[in-house]
Amino acid sequence: MFDFDATPSFYAIAQAHPERPAVVDADGSETSYGALLARVNAVSHGLRARGLGVGDVVAGVLPNGIDAVTMLLATGQIGMYYVPINWHLTVPEIDYIVADCDAKIVASSPGEVSALADAQVAKNPDDRSNGVVMWYTSGTTGFPKGVQRPLSGNAPEETMPLYAWFLGEVCDLKPGDAVHLVTSPMYHSAPCAHVIFALNMGHTIVIAPRFEPITILELIDRYRVDNALMVPTMFHRMLQLPADTRKNYDLSSLRQVIHTGAACPIAVKKGIMDWWGPVLYEYYGSTESAIAFAVKPAEWLARPGTVGRPVPTFEARILDENGAELPPGAPGLVYVKSAMSTFRYRKDPAKTAASMRDDWYAPGDIAYLDEDGYLFICDRRTDLIISGGVNIYPAEIEAALLEHPAVADVAVIGVPDEEWGHRAVALVLRSRDVTADELLEHLRPRLARFKHPRAIEFRDELPRTPTGKLSRSKVKADYLARQPLH
């Protein structure tokens, strides 16, 4: 049994327990805490040897694996900003981010990471201070911008206890013996952050080669996974597995499966908890706000559909278009505030100012608070469909359609309509034969008639990011491009 005899921190744990397994890579190779620390220290020295110092920026275009983990931890102990870049982007898109963040070094292959470590000592660097990850996000429109947080100047060992306490409050995650499963690309904020959290709490991380339902179940069973981060699309795909397949895997080790990144239909979440037990923890936030609301399994089962109450240090308000605070039950724009989560968009003070109302940040969602302060998300403000003067929330329609066993995926969009202003259209990916009329009949007892899509069309694929977020703007653009010219 592994117990801490030092402050929670990867660097301290690696020195006290060097033999402890740190990373099981996608190819099955294993790296211990001690071996990882030696590599991390060598890369830290290598970055300094190339003239980089506190506040400088390093970028990585690296797939999930030991090299991506090394770069995170190396920059994280010498006060640098690390920018993980999506390796699926085109060369011009990558070049834009590299130029915008002023990266002094870009690591885009294992060889480049090894070159930083070559001829360097493995001892701890002097004058250690906590680095920060700077993720690039485009929100809903425009070029991506770096979400930049201030450097604390503290050593990593001074910073981690606060995060360990916070994760314990929000997700019941604790330092000690545990295995964390990585299911999504680490260039996204939540998967990346949870890798950092896991290693700083002494957990072993197991990296899935890709998301496939069977692969994930096999890894959970084989490595006795305790905790993981997933997105609702993953849950939906796993629920489509036959019952005879599901029962082949022992998932009893699971304690916390945390989900975020998109709205989770109530039926999907209930289906997973019926299968896995009450292990689903949910939080809501953004790259900018970090974790702002959270809900534990028992709370959610008592209030299905909620994304939780404000987490410690956070405050929340629901405001109308004029900035007036709305009463419980009234939908409006969500605003959050916390001294623990301050940021600015790199090189874009105007965008920073536009996202704020005084000290309050708007993630961009329409939601309401109930009488007990639990938040219920209606939809993204940019996805709202106004048809005949009535607000229609695509996420609500999508959740209802996903309850039909023949629906593998769905996107609901608003398209221009001369009479109604906009009309709702559902684009459906089928798992088996079903007609539009059958799906409309399925919606009849679930949604008011005015919420039904005016048209249902079938598609062979729908564009989603590797973390399961629907690219609604691309869906809409593709749909409109197919329409005949008048």
Q: Are 37 and 62 found together in one domain? A: yes
* Confidence (pTM): 0.85
Supply the mean pLDDT for the chain. Answer: 92
Q: Is the pLDDT of residue 327 over 90?
A: yes
Mean pLDDT confidence for 226-254: 94
Report the pLDDT value the prediction gives residue 176, as an integer from 0 to 100: 93
Tell me which residue range forms the domain holding 314: 10-369
Q: Are 242 and 389 found together in one domain? A: no
Report the pLDDT value the prediction gives residue 142, as an integer from 0 to 100: 58
Q: Are 120 and 220 found together in one domain? A: yes
Share of the chain above pLDDT 90, in %: 74
Report the pLDDT value the prediction gives residue 370, as an integer from 0 to 100: 97
Report the pLDDT value the prediction gives residue 145, as an integer from 0 to 100: 92
Report the pLDDT value the prediction gives residue 141, as an integer from 0 to 100: 47
List C-alpha distances in Å: 3 to 35, 178, 194, 196, 253: 20, 11, 20, 19, 19
What is the token pair recorded at 339? 């001294």
Q: Are 252 and 220 found together in one domain? A: yes
Strand runs (DSSP E) across 303-450, as ranges?
309-310, 315-319, 332-337, 344-345, 356-357, 360-361, 365-369, 375-380, 385-387, 390-392, 407-417, 421-430
Q: Are 257 and 397 found together in one domain? A: no
Helix, strand, coil percentages for the chain (3-state, nearest 5):
35, 25, 40
Report the pLDDT value the prediction gives residue 90, as an integer from 0 to 100: 84
Task: Provide long-range contacts, Cβ within 8 A and 24+ apart, for 361-364.
Answer: 361/288, 361/289, 361/335, 361/336, 361/337, 362/333, 362/334, 362/335, 363/285, 363/286, 363/288, 363/289, 363/292, 363/334, 363/336, 364/139, 364/140, 364/286, 364/333
Residue 401: closest CA among 393, 411, 392, 391: 411
Q: Is the pLDDT of residue 134 over 60?
A: yes
Share of the chain above pLDDT 70, in %: 96
Least confident span in 248-252, 323-327, 418-422:
418-422
Q: Is the pLDDT of residue 43 over 90?
A: yes
Mean pLDDT confidence for 50-55: 98
Q: Is the pLDDT of residue 467 over 70?
A: no
Q: Are 390 and 334 found together in one domain? A: no
* CB-based contact 59:83 (threshold 8 Å): yes
Higher pLDDT, residue 396 or 57: 57
- CATH number for 320: 3.40.50.12780
Mean pLDDT confidence for 135-164: 85
Report the pLDDT value the prediction gives residue 450, as an integer from 0 to 100: 87
Confidence tier at 473 by pLDDT (50, 70, 90)? confident
Confidence tier at 140 by pLDDT (50, 70, 90)? very low
Q: Is the pLDDT of residue 5 over 60?
A: no
Least confident span in 30-39, 68-77, 141-150, 240-249:
141-150
The 10s digit of each residue's pLDDT in 377-422 is 988 777 888 887 778 888 899 999 999 999 999 999 999 887 787 8
Report the pLDDT value the prediction gives residue 129, as an integer from 0 to 100: 96
Higher pLDDT, residue 261 or 373: 373
- CATH number for 413: 3.30.300.30
The 10s digit of each residue's pLDDT in 105-119 is 999 999 999 999 999
Confidence tier at 6 by pLDDT (50, 70, 90)? low
Residue 486 placed within a domain: no
Mean pLDDT confidence for 254-267: 90
Q: Of 369, 394, 412, at which residue does a domain stop?
A: 369
Q: Is the pLDDT of residue 3 over 70?
A: no
Q: Are 192 and 85 found together in one domain? A: yes
Q: Are 347 and 476 found together in one domain? A: no
Q: How many domains does the chain have?
A: 2
Report the pLDDT value the prediction gives residue 485, as an integer from 0 to 100: 55
Alpha-carbon distance 318 to 316, whole Å?
A: 7
The 10s digit of each residue's pLDDT in 179-193 is 999 999 999 899 999
Mean pLDDT confidence for 170-175: 95
Q: Are 41 and 159 found together in one domain? A: yes
Residue 36 placed within a domain: yes
